[in-house]
A and B are shown apart, each in its own frame.
Chain A
Amino acid sequence: MSFDALTGVLLIPAVAAALLAALPNYYRVSARLNVAATTLTLLCALSLFFKRPPPGSYLLADDLNSTFIVLTTFVGFTTSVFSSSYIGHELETGRLTPPFVRFYHAMYQVLMFAMNLALIANNIGLMWVAIELATLTTVLMVGIYRTHEALEAAWKYFILGSVGIALALFGTILVYMAARPVVGEGLDAMVWTVLVTRAGAFDPALLNLAFVFLLLGYGTKVGLVPLHAWLPDAHAEGPTPISAVLSGLLLNVALYALLRFKMLLAVNPGALAPGPLMVTLGLISLVFAAFMLYRRRDIKRMFAYSSIEHMGIITFAFGVGGPLANFAGLLHMTMHSLTKSAIFFAVGHIAQVKGTQRIADMGGLTETHPVLGWGLLLGVVAIAGLPPLGIFMSEFLLVSSTFARAPLLAIILVFGLLVGLAGMFLRVNGIAFGEPRGPSAKAQASYVPMFAHLSLVLAAGIYMPAALVAWFQNVAGLLG
């Protein structure tokens, strides 16, 4: 097999994982190797914009997943930069021992591998395997601190995640059953590019049932309410780079899987419209999470609920459908990934200098640690959807396009957004301003990843290059 970009985004993380697992415990070397591997993967992913191998029966690269892969590898790269300073600090304070760090680095690359595989899989069975692998890796990483809370979070995530994954497999089998009479037995009946051209002739009833299972299954991984119970625990108790990757990337990957199946249903005239289901779940997630933001006591749990809120918005946008809402959904997903991981970069260092994640023990950060404090504040302004940052753009687009088509839904949407904004600012006000509270240590932080993300979000809010707009419009058109 010749070497192409698709092999690259799989091979580099796989080799890096093996190397990192085999290398002895030299922290600096493995952290650099980790960064180097993610850099190479990012370069490989970027080359997908220029040259793509033709789709095979296992792998596929098209406009839709190229967008996701570039986003995933980019955030994977910046997170590895953040992770090297974060994990270094954890080693110094003794929260992690060298063997665990080695394990962590290897797992980080396995996770990158699994997410890339899920995104480029052209086979719905292979996609399922990849998402299962990503789940298992993150379970291990969430439990890495071996504290009561971390073990509880990992166990809960494992059980709920496995049930979700199992339901998704049942849905996948049903899709195969629907495809078999039309496409014929064997491999072709699981190849997505074949399915999407022939889906019009599938039995609509089977396809509907399959989608319900897939929505429940992958929806658990997206963190849609009422299937979200694992998400806040897993985000709060794992190492912060993993919270960033979970929020910014893994939720997207699960949503991507759902979108692929939604496209199958769209082709079939007899199948139910997946839109209303996704709209309902999205709105429930948004409103529920917005109310939960108020009275959070743990800073990472608060931003985990904010992730549920934003995944709700994105699911809602794709559920509404049409070029404009899909555009808003894609833009929102990109902006949310960048902003939320930037926030977690800030939160990780804040929790380290304060020695705790309790909001009550934090205060006056803009005085004691101005860079971190203002960075966090900027991130929160962005995530709350205030102008002139990128999330304002996508939310504005979404709200205006929804008002034109379904005003009632738009009212609920705006209500949820406002409640979320208020809840979050009430909390963050106490963290950023006021009298300095709680313990305080000197920050040893790498600010570059955080500000790189935030400046991208700011730039997108002020001016989007025409090429980027055209690209997103093209992908939004694909989603139907």
Chain B
Amino acid sequence: MSRIDFDIAHLLAGLLVLISFLELYQDRLYSLLNVYAMHALTLAASVAWQAFVQDAPHLYVTAAIALIFKAIVIPVALHRIIVRLGIHREIEKVVGVGPAMLAGIGLVALAMVVMLRVTHGADPLAREDLAFALSVVLLGLLMMVTRRNAVGQVVGFMSLENGLVLAATGAKGMPLVVEISVAFSILIAFIVIGIFLFRIRERFDTVDVGALDRFRGERR
């Protein structure tokens, strides 16, 4: 692999981690969705680049799914949902921006230390891709933890799945079955979530997950 191929793949994967950080401190749902769309767009570019570099045409399908479905359809649909629910202004975070960013930096450091130490036998691209992917996964988890709003948690989960796709495409020659399944699971997950969001709204008049805690089974 030539130097420039490697650099571009590296750049795109690093960008994905950076955008994960951007997602972490958004305090409006609208802007959060916009940043998520950017996240998915970067993923699409990264996957397409991997398809080109690895000469693996089936990866273009994954890239197309990321582009059309994750970067366009889902953000637009979620935009509509939050407008309809009238919650586009609100967002409550459990922890402030400062601690969340610090925790994020810690997680990325952890991912680097773990992955780079473990994979020194593997080829450099796959190795660094994997380290970035683990960072994105961990940042997605952190985002799910730091948001109380159901929509925010869903976006966190989706960016976590983006990290998984990055890892799967970085692993050279991985059979297509997994990529399709990841894309497919996003679809299913989204439908499920869509149903849930409406149902939650219907029953609770809020999508604040904190409100759900009142109904915990033990307190009846």
Contacts and interface: CB of A to CB of B under 8 A. Distances in A.
Given A148-B204, A163-B157, A203 B177 contact: no
B177 A233 contact: no
Given A166-B164, A298-B217, A301-B218, A154 B196 contact: yes
B216 to A, nearest CB: 7
B59 to A, nearest CB: 13
A286 interface: no
A152 B212 contact: yes
A170 B163 CA distance: 9
Interface in B123-144: 126, 130, 133-134, 137, 141, 144
A203 B115 CA distance: 13
A135 to B, nearest CB: 10
Contacts of B217: 149, 153, 232-233, 236-237, 298, 301
Contacts of A208: 118
B209 interface: yes
A86 interface: no
B173 A185 contact: yes
Interface stretch (B1-9, B69-77, B182-190): B182-190
A159 B175 contact: no
Given A125-B175, A128-B178, A190-B175, A205 B118 contact: yes
Given A153-B217, A177-B171, A169 B182 contact: yes
A173 B220 contact: no
A177 B164 contact: no
Nearest to B153: A159
A206 B119 contact: yes
Given A159-B157, A170-B137, A173-B171, A139 B130 contact: no
A177 B196 contact: no
Contacts of B215: 148-149, 152
Given A152-B212, A158-B192, A298-B217, A123 B177 contact: yes
Contact of A173 (B121, B144, B167): B167
B192 to A, nearest CB: 6
A140 B192 contact: yes
- What DSSP secondary structure best describes chain B's contact surface? helix
Interface in A192-218: 203, 205-206, 208-209
Contacts of A143: 196, 199
A176 B171 contact: yes
A170 B220 contact: no
A180 interface: yes
A173 B174 contact: yes
Interface in A339-378: 358
Contact of B200 (A151, A162, A166, A209): A151
Interface residues of B, number: 49
Interface in A101-158: 123, 125-126, 128-129, 132, 136, 139-140, 143, 146, 148-149, 151-156, 158
A172 interface: yes
A134 to B, nearest CB: 12
Nearest to A175: B171
Contact of B212 (A155, A301, A358): A155
A372 B198 CA distance: 39
B122 interface: yes
Contact of A162 (B157, B181, B220): B157
Contact of B192 (A136, A148, A156, A166): A136
A125 B196 contact: no
Interface string B94-126: 000000000000000000001101110110001
A298 B160 contact: no
B215 to A, nearest CB: 4
A272 to B, nearest CB: 12
Nearest to A304: B217
A119 B3 CA distance: 44
B200 A181 contact: no
Nearest to A140: B192
A163 B172 contact: no
Contacts of B172: 180, 185
8 contacts: A126-B177, A151-B196, A151-B212, A152-B216, A163-B141, A163-B157, A166-B157, A209-B115
Interface of A: 123, 125-126, 128-129, 132, 136, 139-140, 143, 146, 148-149, 151-156, 158-159, 162-163, 165-167, 169-170, 172-174, 176-177, 180-181, 185-187, 189-190, 203, 205-206, 208-209, 232-233, 236-237, 296-298, 301, 358
Given A129-B185, A152-B212, A203-B119, 18 more contacts: A143-B196, A148-B212, A151-B212, A155-B196, A156-B212, A158-B193, A158-B196, A163-B157, A169-B164, A170-B137, A177-B126, A180-B171, A181-B122, A189-B173, A205-B117, A206-B121, A209-B115, A358-B220
